[in-house]
């Protein structure tokens, strides 16, 4: 075979291989992009849910939402979570004898005050209640063993996140996962008023696609943003809305 023909064959073979590789990549790249997107969005959604929980608790105690993530984290670290404890109920016999919920609550709280004044310490509130039921004569006389009405001041993070975060890790919920340290954007509208005149504070928290997918295939990212924009969807993940109430839902729900 002449050298020219050999060169031509080599070039044709190389071109065929290149075309085959391009065809394979044109299929693999979108699939890989979508798989990575789904995996990363699980982490982003987890933080958005945590921020939503924190913002709703902040509003419950302050009557408004905050756009300041540092203030939100300080609130989680320092504010107490008030929780109403309601254990046991009055029997028909007790009610017929004139016992009321208010009287029973007063008796229990007086017993609790006596125990606390004594300086006794307990591992938990449950242990304190058990001691009262077994030892306080007024509670026993009224037949209120197992009855408790109290407002406890709990650690905020433990109460709403069930030990999922510590003081050292709680600030991580403000960072968009896979973004290289970028934080979520928070906007609030505490002045929103419904047609009936009711004030409904609103918030929205954003995580654009570029923040957590920016290191992936550039063209796939451009296509994704363009697609969502044309559909008039937010190009990324978000929770809440400041234009109208949406029950603080995420756009993935």
Of the candidates 160, 193, 214, which is a domain's last residue?
160
Token pair 């913002």: residue? 55
Task: Return the percent helix, strand and coil in the chain, to nearest 5.
Answer: 55, 15, 30
Q: Please give the Cα distance from 217 to 210 (Å, whole number).
A: 11
Q: Long-range contacts of range 66-75, CB-CB < 8 Å, 24 or more positions apart?
A: 66/186, 66/188, 67/186, 67/187, 67/188, 67/203, 68/186, 69/174, 69/183, 69/184, 69/186, 72/174, 73/170, 73/171, 73/174, 75/156
Q: Are residues 252 and 143 in the same domain?
A: no
* 198: in domain: yes
Q: Are residues 194 and 234 in the same domain?
A: yes
Kind and range of the H or E run holding 112: helix 101-117
Q: Are residues 110 and 126 in the same domain?
A: yes
pLDDT score for 216: 95
Q: What is the mean pLDDT of the chain?
A: 90
Whether pLDDT at 24 is above 80: no
Q: Are residues 55 and 175 in the same domain?
A: yes
Q: Are residues 124 and 83 in the same domain?
A: yes
* 35: in domain: no
Token pair 């504010």: residue? 79
**What is the per-residue burial (b if ≥16 Cβ within 10 Å, else e) of 35-70?**
ebbeebbeebbebbebbbebbebbbeeeeebbbebe
pLDDT score for 236: 98
250 contacts 239 by C-beta, under 8 angstroms: yes
Instruction: Tell which phi-psi region holds residue 105, choosing left (phi > 0), alpha (psi between -120 and 50) or beta.
Output: alpha
* 156: in domain: yes
* 31: in domain: no
Of the candidates 92, 127, 160, which is a domain's last residue?
160
Print the domain residue range for 229.
Answer: 43-77+169-253
Q: Are residues 206 and 244 in the same domain?
A: yes
Kind and range of the H or E run holding 144: none
Whether pLDDT at 130 is above 60: yes
Q: Are residues 99 and 138 in the same domain?
A: yes
For residues 164-193, average pLDDT: 96
For residues 25-31, average pLDDT: 70
Of the candidates 137, 160, 183, which is a domain's last residue?
160
Longest dimension (CA), the chain: 116
Q: What angle do CA 248, 250, 253 make, to 5 degrees?
A: 120
Whether pLDDT at 21 is above 60: no
* 33: in domain: no
Instruction: Kindly report the pTM of this predicted structure.
Output: 0.75
The number of folded domains in the chain is 2
Work out the pLDDT band at 222, boundaries 50, 70, 90: very high
Q: Are residues 68 and 183 in the same domain?
A: yes
**236 φ/ψ angles, rounded to the nearest 5 degrees:** 160, -160
* 216: in domain: yes
């Amino acid at each position: 075979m002449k050298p020219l023909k050999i060169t031509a064959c080599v070039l044709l073979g190389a071109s065929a291989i290149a075309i085959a590789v391009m065809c394979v990549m044109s299929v693999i790249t979108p699939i890989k992009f979508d798989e990575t997107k789904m995996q990363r969005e699980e982490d982003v959604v987890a933080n958005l849910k945590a921020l939503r929980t924190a913002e709703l608790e902040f509003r419950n105690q302050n009557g408004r939402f905050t756009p300041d993530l540092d203030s939100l984290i300080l609130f989680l670290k320092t504010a107490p979570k008030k929780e109403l404890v309601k254990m046991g109920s009055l029997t028909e016999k007790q009610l017929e004898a004139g016992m009321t919920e208010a009287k029973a609550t007063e008796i229990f709280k007086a017993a609790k005050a006596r125990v606390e004044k004594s300086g006794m310490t307990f591992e938990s509130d449950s242990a304190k209640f058990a001691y009262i039921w077994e030892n306080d004569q007024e509670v026993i006389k009224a037949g209120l063993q197992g009855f408790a009405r109290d407002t406890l001041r709990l650690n905020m993070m433990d109460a709403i996140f069930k030990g999922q975060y510590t003081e050292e890790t709680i600030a991580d919920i403000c960072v968009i996962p896979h973004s290289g340290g970028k934080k979520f954007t928070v906007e609030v509208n505490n002045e929103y008023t419904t047609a009936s005149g009711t004030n409904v504070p609103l918030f929205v928290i954003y995580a654009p696609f570029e923040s957590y997918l920016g290191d992936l295939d550039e063209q796939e990212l451009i296509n994704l943003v363009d697609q969502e924009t044309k559909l008039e969807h937010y190009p990324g993940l978000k929770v809440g809305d400041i234009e109208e109430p949406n029950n603080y839902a995420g756009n993935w729900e």
